[in-house]
Amino acid sequence: MAVDLTKLSDEQLAAEVASESSDGPAFVALVDRFRQRVWRICYRLLSNEQDANDAAQEVFVRLFLHRGKFAGRSKFATWVHGVAVRTCLAMRRSRSRRQRHESVLADPLWESRQPAAPDFSPGLSLDLMSMLETLSEEDRAILILKYAEGYDYEELAAIFELSVSACKMRISRAREKLQQRYSPQKPQTPEASPAPSK
């Protein structure tokens, strides 16, 4: 009697996929189950529909090639999301290197023509995604997953292969970086004289 794949837990479905020798019905069911979640993560991290499509496709290729590697140390969904995050981070790094290389090749005076870093005045409204672009790739990703996608610390720790306490510290430091960089500067005021003691 055939197994009803739709009624299996994620972990049970992963075990079925691992036992298949090719992309059989269990892998097709897995793609159907995770397609939207994986694409949404890719879109959040890459901010581009075409790139998200390419990344999601790459994620499922990787899941197929490594279908026997899930060790059960986290939920299967968390493991899948970790593959998606690492795939997107690799794509962003590759894209960034390629764009820098192409820009320099296209224009030998490129560097001298770059504008100075913007001087953000207090109260200036900044696009959040532009702000996040100033962080490292992993810090940007972890903040997006925490605050835009609502992942808890345990899930993020598993995805980024950190302890929960290290994950909390990383998020706190990334937020501090943004606050230091973009919070309005308080005007310098002369120090008030200490009140006379009674």
Looking at residues 117-145, what average pLDDT do you find?
Answer: 69
Residue 35 pLDDT: 95
Q: What is the distance between the alpha carbons of residues 28 and 120, in angstroms, rounded to a whole number?
A: 50
pTM value is 0.72
CATH topology for the 133-181 domain: Arc Repressor Mutant, subunit A (1.10.10)
Q: Which of 83, 1, 80 is nearest to 33 (CA)?
A: 80
Structure tokens at 86: 């690492």
Q: What is the distance between the alpha carbons of residues 122 and 182, in angstroms, rounded to a whole number?
A: 9
From-to residues of CATH 1.10.10.10 in the chain: 133-181
- Most distant CA pair in the chain, distance: 91
CATH architecture label of 1-103: Orthogonal Bundle (1.10)
Tens of pLDDT, residue by residue over 77-112, are 999 999 999 999 999 888 765 555 444 444 555 444
3-state secondary structure of 109: coil
From-to residues of CATH 1.10.1740.10 in the chain: 1-103
Q: What is the distance between the alpha carbons of residues 23 and 43, in angstroms, rounded to a whole number?
A: 25
